[in-house]
Amino acid sequence: MFAYPEFVNGKKILSEKSSDMLMDIAVYRMNAGDTLSFRSESMETAVLLVSGAVTLGWNGNTAKVSRKGLFTEGPSCLHVCKLTDVTVAADEDSEILVQQTDNEKAFDAVLYRPEDCVYAVSCEGKWENTAVRDVVTVFDYSIAPYSNMVLGEVYARQGRWWSYTPHWHPQPEVYYYKFDRPEGFGACFIGEKAYTVKDGSVGCFTGGNTHAQVTAPGYPMYNVWMIRHLPGDPWDKTRIVDPRYAWLDEE
């Protein structure tokens, strides 16, 4: 599924736990001075700062985090288990993304700052660099095996493909796309269907659906990627390439 959700009273819903994505994911626009609170009786919660500056509160702790540019500064993210009260106070106009899913495990809260994340360049030197991209992992199965989620970001360079070659995995995945200019655009391929990627759009990929993206020249693309582990089958960098394109990875 590919969609173009809108903000309603400052909230944009990307996916719901009751869907095949198995995750509640929403984006919030906050004005300076606004405060939001989050607590779940059954779900773990990740609060990602997309842009702006906020003060996070949890378990008697507070921390200020800021982000001036999507493509120039890395992510900050607070990750907590169920039954944890979280507050987010906007120190300036800000945008946050909140990812949640069921998890009965108790674990210590972690605040990931940009220097705590894992950075990698993918596909450099392959296919004349037409699919090179910068990948940031905030947490995954190897970093947080107690979590039922994966959270990271991709910075797709202008005119490049990414999430390439076309591949799939059993675990559901959600992409949230943004551009640094409102007219930015690209394309997302889900199976045999193509969709126009616009600022603020969302792709929801069920297990078994191949997916790949491309962004237009002049328009680098920012993306938050989120995966839900399956019971007994966590996403551990799982990647099943469409056999028609497997030869590309053999070069």
pLDDT in tens, 107-150: 999 999 999 999 999 999 999 999 999 999 999 999 999 999 99
Chain segment 229-249, per-residue pLDDT in tens: 999 999 999 999 999 999 998
Chain segment 208-217, per-residue pLDDT in tens: 889 999 999 9
Q: Which tokens sit at 154?
A: 């991709």
Closest by alpha carbon to 27, among 143, 237, 220, 176?
176
Is 166 inside a domain boundary?
Answer: yes
Q: Which domain holds residue 194?
A: 2-241
pLDDT of residue 25 exceeding 90: yes
Closest by alpha carbon to 95, among 49, 153, 138?
49
Q: What is the pLDDT of residue 156?
A: 96
Which amino acid would we find at residue 124? E
Residues 149, 152: Cα–Cα separation, whole Å = 10
Number of domains within the chain: 1
Is 248 inside a domain boundary?
Answer: no
Is 189 inside a domain boundary?
Answer: yes
Neighbouring CB atoms inside 10 A of 127's CB total 14
Is 15 inside a domain boundary?
Answer: yes
Residues 168, 242: Cα–Cα separation, whole Å = 8
Residue recorded with tokens 């962004």: 215
Chain segment 79-117, per-residue pLDDT in tens: 999 999 999 999 999 999 999 999 999 999 999 999 999
Q: What is the pLDDT of residue 2?
A: 96
- Taking the model in full, what pTM does it have? 0.96
- Banded pLDDT at 44 (limits 50, 70, 90): very high
Residue recorded with tokens 């947080």: 144
Closest by alpha carbon to 164, among 251, 249, 250?
249
Is 234 inside a domain boundary?
Answer: yes
| Bridge pairing between strands 86-90 and 43-58 | antiparallel
Is 250 inside a domain boundary?
Answer: no
Q: How far is CA 80 from CA 71, 104, 139, 155, 201, in A?
A: 26, 12, 12, 25, 26
What does the angle CA 206 – CA 207 – CA 210 come to, to the nearest 5 degrees? 85
Is 126 inside a domain boundary?
Answer: yes
Q: Look up the CATH number of the domain holding residue 88.
A: 2.60.120.10
Q: What is the pLDDT of residue 35?
A: 98
Q: What is the pLDDT of residue 249?
A: 85
Is 191 inside a domain boundary?
Answer: yes
Q: What is the pLDDT of residue 208?
A: 83
Q: What is the pLDDT of residue 251?
A: 65
Percent of the chain with pLDDT over 90: 95
Chain segment 182-231, per-residue pLDDT in tens: 999 999 999 989 999 999 999 999 988 899 999 999 999 999 999 999 99
Q: What is the pLDDT of residue 138?
A: 98
What's the rounded mean pLDDT across residues 152-181?
Answer: 96
Residues 100, 52: Cα–Cα separation, whole Å = 21
